[in-house]
Structure formats: structure tokens, C-alpha cells
Amino acid sequence: MTIEPDSIRFVTRGVTPEEVAAVTAVLTAAIAEAEAAARDARPPAGPDAWARSQRALRTPLTPGPGSWRSFAG
């Protein structure tokens, strides 16, 4: 994206053409960098730490034939 110098409004009086060119160049570079960062942004590979911490530690124990019940005899 290119910024046209006419689309920038300067509130300071007496801005030189060199200053306009410098501001335009800096803003153009900042916008290009932001667009590149947005393009290169990838979603996380897996669940984040918050989602991992919310998982159950193990599956629930279910009593029944062939399953562990208790130490009571």
C-alpha cells in the first residue's frame, strides 16, 4: 500500500517537502510491516496453556467387574 502525501493532514505549519516525504516514507514502511506481520501470523499449533490446564487429569474411574473398586475386603 502506498500513501499519497495529499492524504496526510499536517497540523504543524510550514512543513517542508522533505518532511512530507520523510513522514510518508515512514508511514508507508510501517503499514507494509504491519501487513506483512498479519500475513505471516499463524494460528497456534495446538491448544494454548489455558486450554491444556482445563483438561481432566485422567479418565474417571468406573467400578465394575474386572475393575478396581477399593481396598475394603
**Domain map (residue ranges) of the chain:** 5-42
73: pLDDT strictly greater than 60? no
Tell me the per-residue pLDDT of 19-70, one tens digit each, with 9 for 90 and over. Answer: 999 999 999 999 999 999 888 877 767 888 888 777 767 777 777 777 765 5
Cα–Cα distance between 44 and 48 in angstroms, integer?
A: 7
Does the model's pTM come out above 0.95? Answer: no
State the average pLDDT over residues 1-24.
87
Q: CA torsion, points 31, 32, 34, 39, in degrees to nearest 10?
A: 140
